[in-house]
Structure 1
Amino acid sequence: MKRAIGAALTSALLFPGLGQLIVLKRPARSCLFLLPAAVALFFLVGSAISTATVVANEIAAGTLQLDIQLILQRIAAANPGPAGSTASGVLIAAWLGSILDALFRR
């Protein structure tokens, strides 16, 4: 397997930028993808954990009934808004960018 394909698969299947770091041995280039993707993923996971904690506490306190429709409505109302959309976009862009960069490296 060519190194470019191995790097693209590593970045696609594991995490953006890992192909550049592990396979291509280009640490500076990998930071272009690793750092923004890690920050975006950290924000998204933190937001999801925060929402889950609030919903679980409301269920435990009895202020939110154990009804799937009500729970889904509560989760939808707690979305992170534009920041969540931006973080999702950054994560997707970093993922696709790292794959394309590995495939078409120079």
Structure 2
Amino acid sequence: MKASIKAALISALVFPGLGHLVLRRGARGLLFIVPTLLAGGYLLRATLTLAGTLMDEVNSGRLPPDPLLVLERVHNSGIDNPVTNGAALVCILCWIGSVADALWLGRHR
């Protein structure tokens, strides 16, 4: 298997930018790894904070354990805002970009 294909698969299936390590282009890989980690960390923190809040409300009895009511509460929580949407977009763009860049690097090597 060609190194570029292997790098693209690692970046696509494991984590964006890790395939660049196979190509010995670690600094370039960090351009994909760092933004993805920061954006993913923000999304994880926001999700866990909301989940903790919802669990507290369900456990205290303020929110019935009805899936439709919980879903409505999630929609009303404001988690769907420009910052979280931007963080998700950064993750998607880094993922796609790292695969494309790994393939490009392999062909121009």
**TM-score, normalised to structure 2's length?**
0.93
Q: Distance in 2 between matches of 1:86 and 1:42?
A: 13
How far did 1:80 drift? Answer: 4.3
Matching of residues 1-106 of structure 1 within 5 Å: 1-21=1-21, 23-78=22-77, 79-105=79-105, 106=108
Q: Distance in 2 between matches of 1:77 and 1:50?
A: 15
**1-side partners of 2:97 and 2:75: how far apart?**
30
Partner SS, residue 104 of structure 1: helix
Q: Across the two proteins, how many residue pairs are aligned to each other?
A: 105
Aligned-residue Cα RMSD (Å) equals: 0.8
- The superposition leaves residues 12-45 of structure 1 with CA deviations (integer Å, 9 ceiling, x where unpaired) of 0000000002x11111101100000000100111
Report percent identity of matched pairs.
41
Which stretches of structure 1, 4 residues or more, deviate above 4 A after TM superposition?
none
What is the alpha-carbon distance in structure 2 between the residues aligned to residue 32 and residue 66 of structure 1?
43
Unaligned ranges ≥5, structure 1: none
TM-score (norm 1): 0.96
